[in-house]
């Protein structure tokens, strides 16, 4: 599927990925000037916990749980001070609660023992925390002000493919393609722009190409079909 979008971009003379990326970012930034992380947090530790809880669930659901969680658990030590079952109960509604509890407690222990209770800034350090994979590390580093890669979630993957910015399916390979063309200064906001555009306009099943601000830059527009 993604492969044919790349051929279509070439066939319609839309320009190369490098030529299109600037206008794509510009147009999306105008259309979604409010695009930012949807998780609610008030500290670096809360950011890390929120992102860890967001696996396999919605940001809205995580915010509902953390609204109470962050009143009760204020520092890394608090997550280790309660019985495992209590923390499991407190995060139950985010799903996969047993695994998430294990990961959170492991991560908090490592923060205390190896990072003076602070959330580390670099991807290699973040990846050492139990339960923290590349996507979580990328989100946390970017929100802490030093994006060291591009977050690839389901929206970023779908839109990057539809826009023929990548031929890949695997998130790690998609990220590798994106960091080659997206200017480093935009690594933080780029995934947010795609995520919000994916939620508001470029729906997985029913993209609203007729109102899309980057329609003229997109090889998978449905408008081309209607004008043929």
User: Which residues are identified as catalytic?
Assistant: 135, 153
List binders of ligand SF4 among 130-169 (CB under 6 A): 162-163
Nearer to ligand SF4, 27 or 100 (CB): 27
| Helices and strands per DSSP (H, E), number in the chain | 13, 0
| Distance between first and last Cα of the chain | 20
Asked if 31 touches ligand SF4 (CB under 6 A), the answer is: no
Nearer to ligand SF4, 53 or 209 (CB): 209
Among 66, 94, 160, 221, binds ligand SF4 (CB under 6 A): 221
Asked if 45 touches ligand SF4 (CB under 6 A), the answer is: no
Residue from 106, 111, 136, 107 nearest 123 by CA: 136
Asked if 214 touches ligand SF4 (CB under 6 A), the answer is: yes
Asked if 207 touches ligand SF4 (CB under 6 A), the answer is: yes
Give the chain's length: 228
Helices (H), the chain: 2-11, 17-31, 44-53, 59-72, 76-81, 84-91, 97-114, 123-128, 134-143, 154-162, 171-181, 189-200, 223-227
Place of tokens 């995520």: 195
Asked if 2 touches ligand SF4 (CB under 6 A), the answer is: no
Q: How many residues bind ligand SF4 (CB under 6 A)?
A: 13
Nearer to ligand SF4, 48 or 214 (CB): 214
Residue pair 152/171 in contact by the 8 Å Cβ criterion: yes
Judged by the rule CB under 6 A, the positions of this chain that interact with ligand SF4 are 162-163, 201-202, 207-209, 212, 214-215, 218, 220-221
């Amino acid at each position: 599927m993604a492969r044919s979008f790349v051929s279509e971009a070439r066939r319609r003379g839309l320009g190369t990925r490098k030529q299109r990326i600037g206008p794509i970012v510009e147009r999306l930034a105008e259309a979604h000037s409010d695009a930012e992380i949807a998780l609610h947090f008030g500290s670096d530790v809360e950011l890390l916990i929120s992102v860890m809880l967001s696996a396999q669930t919605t940001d809205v659901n995580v915010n509902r749980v953390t609204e109470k969680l962050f009143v009760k658990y204020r520092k890394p030590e608090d997550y280790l001070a309660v019985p495992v079952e209590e923390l499991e109960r407190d995060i139950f509604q985010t799903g996969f609660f047993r695994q998430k509890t294990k990961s959170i407690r492991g991560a908090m222990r490592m923060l205390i023992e190896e990072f003076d209770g602070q959330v580390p800034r670099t991807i290699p350090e973040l990846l050492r925390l139990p339960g923290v994979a590349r996507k979580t590390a990328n989100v946390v580093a970017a929100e802490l002000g030093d994006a060291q890669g591009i977050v690839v979630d389901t929206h970023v993957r779908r839109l990057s493919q539809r826009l023929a910015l990548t031929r890949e399916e695997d998130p790690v390979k998609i990220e590798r393609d994106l960091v080659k063309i997206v200017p480093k200064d935009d690594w933080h906001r780029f995934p947010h722009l795609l995520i919000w555009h994916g939620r508001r306009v470029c729906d997985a099943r029913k993209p609203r190409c007729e109102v899309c601000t980057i329609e003229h830059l997109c090889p998978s527009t449905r408008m081309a079909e209607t004008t043929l």
